Amino acid sequence: MARHVPRSLAGQAAALMFGIVLVIVVLGGALAALDARRDGDDAARERVVAIASSLAAAPSTATALESGQPTATLQPVTERVRHDTQIAFITIMSPDGTRYTHTDPSLIGQKYLGTTEPALRGETFTEVFTGTLGPSIRAVAPVYASDGRIVGLVSAGITQQTLAENWYAQLPLILLVAATTVVAAVVGMWLVRRRLLRQTGGLSPRELRVMYEHHDAVLHSISEGLVVVENERAVLINDEARRLLDVSDDVPIDMRSLPAFLADGDGRSADESADRSAEPSVKDEVRLTKDRVLVVNRAPVAVGQRMAADVVTIRDRTELQGALGELDSMKVFAESLRSQAHESANRLHTIVALVEMGRGDEAVRFATTQLELSQRLVDRLTAAVQEPALVALLLGKSAQAAERGVALTVTDDTHFDTTLDTAVGAEEREGDAGAVLTPTEMITVVGNLVDNAFDACDKDDPWVEVTVQQDDAALRIVVADSGPGMDEATFQQARRRGYSTKEGGAEGRRGLGLALVSQVVERHGGQLTAEVTYGSVVSVTIERGAAQRRRS
């Protein structure tokens, strides 16, 4: 028996719905037949009451009953009326029930079979009674003389056999409607089954349940964020994606509460985004939220020839990006040390050559002059900037600028006043509220701005100026260069989209520096601006109060 049960969900659903429709049609047909029979009985009662009442109310009937020869007068009339109205019988009788008329003339003069008491009391009533013609629905009405006496009774009836024949005549129509309904249901069930088969892949309910359970388990267990976007509307978002995008579990999925890059893919125009021929649409793109650096992949999912949705995967790269930033800083420091070692070797060779030439005094002056210049820069930066990491960064950038032929100037306005205890380690100082930015954030902001300035400055007159000021009110960082600068649209794009004007652009994974700077500034409630005055000038301003409010 189990072999006759459809395996697929579509087949089982169609069979169940067909069974339900079949039961409804059978019950509906039976109720329709019973209703037709009841309506036929009600109509018969109304007909016989109307006929009996009409004949009883006719003056000629009372006159004939009082004439002494009622049969001769009334029998032709009743037969003509019975023939015209298609009823079984019309009987006119005396008050004691003696028949004056009847369908069968041989029964005239015999007693009427049926109830007459209500009519003798002046009532017109109906009943179902088995008489000489079989079971019938009959009505009995009194006949009044001119003086108000009841001089006779009129009974009109329709046999139930006649009513049954009329009812049977309606059964073919009821059966035709029921059969048409069943055929329509079969066609509808077939269409539903076909659609369900296409949408469920012909899977059984158990297979669908297992697939859902596995699907739900995978969504909650994978370490990557997953967002399914359909018609630029998020229809699914897993736990990791909610965490990375900072969306609460109780918040409905709404594209307005999610970052813009989930809605517009890789930032292309609407016309370009409409062209879904390229797969995947986003490949390992680095995107930024307020607090995180994310690696985003977005690929369309095709069902047949139709692009049904986009699947967006998100990986957290925040810690890795921080490590890469520190590695880049170490590379800068190492490169600075290499440059300084190279310069020191050249100077040492020069001093040795001067000594070999017997010019010891010149060798001493040369050595002390170079040492004084280097020490003077270190002393000035150390006195102006009390943050060791920032001093090391600026010294490294100075060496790097010298090697690249760029004139790097740390302006006299630089003054970094911090209340932090310099004896405390960097790990402890990370969470101290005395500084506006942590050392790591300071290296991220200043290092990226200076690197961008090195790349953007004019090749014929390369110079870069750096000013870092921190006091009780705010932190101000200004980096200027001799480059042409960026207009407002380009600057905003570079802040938010990882845009780069350098060769290699997105394919070379460049253009992330200014976006990281923007992320740090926005996290602390600061302002990042760009303008072209005496050169291209990029400024960062973070008020101390705003930074502390953001931390709290």
| Helix, strand, coil percentages for the chain (3-state, nearest 5) | 55, 20, 25
Residues of the chain under the 70 pLDDT cut? 1-5, 232, 249-282, 284, 288-291, 303-308, 318-333, 335-337, 339-344, 347, 367, 369-377, 379, 417-435, 496-512, 545-552
Quick one: which of 415, 410, 392, 513 has its CA closest to 463? Answer: 410
Residue 503 half-sphere exposure, CB side, CA atoms within 13 Å? 0
Residue 324 tokens read as 């890469």
Please give the torsion angle defined by the CA atoms of residues 170, 172, 177 and 181, in that order, rounded to the nearest 10 degrees: 140
> What whole-number distance in Å separates Cα of residue 385 and Cα of residue 383?
6
C-alpha pair distances (Å), 451 with each of 207, 415, 481: 57, 21, 11
> What would you report as the CA-atom Rg of the chain, rounded to the nearest whole angstrom?
52
Give the model's pLDDT for residue 321: 60
What dihedral do alpha carbons 133, 136, 137, 140 form, nearest 10°? Answer: 30
Report d(CA 151, CA 145) in Å as an integer: 6
What average pLDDT does the chain have? 76
- Domains of the chain as residue ranges with CATH: 9-167 (3.30.450.20), 222-316 (3.30.450.20), 384-551 (3.30.565.10)
Question: What is the reported pLDDT for 460?
Answer: 86
End-to-end CA distance of the chain: 69
What's the pLDDT tens digit per position in 459-489? 888 999 999 888 888 889 999 998 888 888 8
pLDDT of res. 278: 43
CA atoms of 217 and 210, how far apart (whole Å): 10
> Can you tell me the distance from the alpha carbon of 353 to that of 350, in angstroms, rounded to the nearest whole number?
5
Please answer whether residues 143 and 151 qualify as being in contact, where contact means their C-beta atoms are separated by less than 8 angstroms: yes
Q: What is the pLDDT of residue 142?
A: 93
Give residue-wise pLDDT tens across range 55-72: 988 888 888 888 888 888
